[in-house]
Amino acid sequence: MHKLNDIQAIAFDLDGTLVDSVPGLALAAQKMLSDLTLPTISNEQIKNFVGNGIDIMLERVFNAIGTTPSGELFSKAKNLFNQHYNKVMDAETKLFPHVKATLKTLHDSQYPLALVTNKPAQFLPALLTSLGIKEYFSLVLGGGDVIKLKPHPAPLYQVMATFGLFSDQLLFVGDSKNDITAAQNANCPTVALSYGYNYGVSIATSNPDFLLDDFKEILTLLPQPKADAKK
């Protein structure tokens, strides 16, 4: 497997890539539905609803239980969900294997690291601190920090502008078609992780440049320390 010698920075998705967030999202959604005396949903259903931000996830939840919410009900549901998620997020969100050690190695090897997620930005500082990985990221972009969410390439353009990079110098690592499509639209090389959340479909169908089963395999693709830029 050849080295990506032109890569000067790496951006990562969060849910399904760095962390298993389904238990916390499912618990918050289940508590929300209970508060509203509505039918519940399973963790497996939530796994297939993750990836497009909280609003879309909740729309999928309501669709799954056969309910069309009014604007008032949706707003109430979202507020309840956010309240519950704030309480359970830290305890119910876990890093996938080898994530922390790999991020540390990349950070120590002088790669600037960015986080690009559709998760609302309000949740990110406390969560990243709780997980012990906040210090590794030079840039964190969540929902509300960008003009368009993935799969739009806007978040990756923002990373490139912040770091002063060409598209072929930024590697994007994700687990869903939203991630791979966003990177492809921005002309960035892609790594997809097979263990994440992709609506029940193999991420191989999105044609990433590299498909990995273990997060630490990223280290086999990149020189350490970071190679000098060629541009």
Q: Write out the catalytic residue numbers.
A: 13
The first and second tokens of residue 108, run together, are 């120590």
SS3 sequence of 1-48 = CCCCCCCCEEEECCECCCEECHHHHHHHHHHHHHHCCCCCCCHHHHHC
Closest CA to 98 of 1, 189, 173: 173
Q: Which residues contact 28 (CB under 8 A, 6 or more apart)?
A: 81, 84, 85, 88, 89
Distance CA 227, CA 175 (A): 26
Neighbours of 85 (CB within 10 A): 24
How many residues does this entry show for the chain? 231
SS3 51: coil
